[in-house]
Structure 1
């Protein structure tokens, strides 16, 4: 049996050392190293999208891979791709690190400097384990052995642009076609998802902070099962408790939800924290909600540049959504695309305060009128993203989850891919000083 190996090594010198040694192992097929955690997860997701058989048997995670810490990366790979054997490469092979690696889902630990005999033994053992798991599961078993559910974050260019309304409607649209859906309120200090859906709750995402291993039972105790069928993981009622939710908690929570739901919608609000930055970085698709006014478009431009500087997300991996759109405003979607530097969704959500107000006041966003333009646009956006039924789409099948797709007039592309954007127009937001 030939064992396929995918190394994840952030340091160029370390990558050369790993590649050299792997080339000497018999009955192996090493792939070129990937340089960071995002590339590793993207590569595995793309391989798993069509068939379990396309995944490598072994993934090597170097301790300096970054930006996600190695043990958290191992945990996410183990959750999303349970038929892949993960090996940690580390200079510290003490009992504490070994135990932490095993708790995270690793199948072995290899010490630095690398030894041919040790690496060969660990790769052989992990490869045999992976092959055995795959024989047991079968490529068409229907079990969650693929890339996991689709995670979509919804962030606001500034406060009050409608992230919660959009998040709720995207979740409801996905649920309407049979998807298992979780809606997470990551606006940790002022989240309103509970108010929009009129629910009383005791547990929140803050109750998961500090838990080392978020098991299905632990998750079940915290996720509120709403009458619509959507699972709700809510922001704490006491805003100060939001500080308890850090980046590590976010990664664990989203990893756990992703392995148990077809679709996970995360309302990130408009404030950037370590917690919701981790959510945006992990997501298959990141939406940035913009209203067609100069102040908000400038704020969107600042947000996109900040995400890029902090290595949270690149502009080409972000999709702007124009909310409260009217045909008479000077700022139209192509201009937003030009100024902000991201793609813009084909579906713009029209302004509709009168349509929304009764449902918002009653806390019954699930009762929004099906004939209303706002709901129709938001559900059309869900279809555009591959989450629900759009004007040109049938229902998304729920036999297995799939990565969402962004479709525009130029074709259908993956969330993390980009084609040339239309260019044209000018406005005050694009003049010198337009960043605010």
Structure 2
């Protein structure tokens, strides 16, 4: 039972008088704030972070354009939040588990997920690790320790606590980071996860991207408290609020959070204050709920430009290198997309081959019925008909497909 000090006055406590400050290191002009100390970041790692940030921005721009052209059914951008996602991922061990919400493709890019791997998933072709079963942007990679994304909001948060508890029992010195938006923090799963992590001392980092909007609902209409960070105090959890557009602050905060998680088995909550410059998804029009003036104000705080200026001040980057990188990435994205579009879909058999260890009679019956239906109406399933015959499917891929 919890014991507390006694008082003999009926005084209520209020959260109105308490606010958590925002940790910041890097100014928008690329210089350090007065009194701020940057992380111990070597040149090669800093450039790896920056490359991933720029690659993510280029990928997002090109794929949103592809969606508008009808070449892709759906897309979600990370634009404006690259520092929060990639800066935090860079502070981890590459073997730490990442559980993402749906806007953390930058973490995958940092760990080495190739444009080919991104495109295969987006187009759901035969090389997609998910075998075409998921809608676009639901990435996953076993080799990069990135749990496959699922659509239901906030389910990854308690899953992260459970996974981290398993890491603690394994004793291998690893942790889990779980990303979510401030809207997801309004789900019950959020509170269940934090309580479980605190009670069982699981090595998990809860990383909240507070980008201002839960789709079209502004944060001021989501909660009356001082953001998400104060909630950690109710669970006796370590917490920090950080400027989410400041890659150095995010990196250093996550680096310290990882030490708490791994060395002391202390769960940590990080709230990154950032802004979603893009629409919520390709199905959203933000002009209906926020102003262009607001967007422009945040565009001036672009996290990529901020890091670029810092790199130039270190003598690690130049305008010529910037132009060369942009040109190279745009060319690579376009070439990769063309390859992915031409690849055939997964063979129909892959719908059932790994649901169970062996295909059950019921599944086999359904698969046979599906194949019969596709053969009967081939004009309605031009790509599906080819997927019935793997040899034909591969031949079409070699010849350019559709």
What is the TM-score normalised by the length of structure 2? 0.27
Structure possessing the higher radius of gyration over alpha carbons: 2
Higher helix share: 2
What is the TM-score normalised by the length of structure 1? 0.25
